[in-house]
């Protein structure tokens, strides 16, 4: 998931050297965005479990107070099918979809990953049905009297 950086104009400090109201507002916005981004990525990580490739990575913006705030992030997830095992691929696709849609506010990238996982699940389901059909036709029993 990639979120666009939050930015805004910095105001000059107030008369006492403390941040002006525009700076204080920007800092508050950056803090809120940082919390939102970290919660969003944590939801992906929790739902992905072993499918996650490492932890979350973040894009930062330095605020007028000199602190780096997370303004975007992403979690890498293994989205490859399980070769030769459509049942495992189906289960994996369902887990990918759940991980992509885990945050309360999925991004367009999250929805795209969920859509690709849905297609992977549908393909795995078709392969399972073909295998079951093949086994069913191979189960015929010839009885000769």
Task: Delimit the domains of the chain by residue range.
Answer: 21-137
Which of 61, 53, 56, 49 shows the shortest CA–CA distance to 73? 56
Residue where the block lists tokens 């795209």: 112
Query: Rounded to an integer, what distance in angstroms lies between the CA atom of residue 77 and that of residue 95?
Result: 10
Please tell me the pTM assigned to this model.
0.77
pLDDT one digit per residue (tens) for the chain, 145 residues: 444 444 444 444 444 455 679 999 999 999 999 999 999 999 999 999 999 999 999 999 999 999 999 999 999 999 999 999 999 999 999 999 999 999 999 999 999 999 999 999 999 999 999 998 877 665 544 455 5
């Amino acid at each position: 998931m990639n979120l666009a950086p939050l930015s805004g104009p910095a105001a000059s400090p107030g008369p006492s050297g403390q941040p002006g109201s525009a700076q204080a507002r920007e800092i508050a916005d950056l803090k809120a965005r940082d919390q939102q981004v970290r919660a969003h990525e944590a939801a992906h990580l929790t739902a992905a479990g072993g499918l996650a490739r490492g932890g979350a990575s973040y894009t930062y913006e330095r605020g007028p107070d000199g602190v780096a705030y997370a303004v975007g992030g992403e979690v890498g997830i293994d989205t490859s099918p399980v070769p030769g095992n459509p049942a495992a691929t189906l289960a994996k696709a369902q887990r990918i979809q759940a991980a992509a849609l885990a945050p309360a506010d999925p991004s367009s990238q999250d929805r795209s990953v969920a859509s690709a996982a849905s297609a992977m699940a549908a393909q795995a389901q078709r392969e399972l049905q073909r295998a079951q059909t093949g086994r069913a036709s191979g189960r015929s029993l010839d009885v000769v009297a």
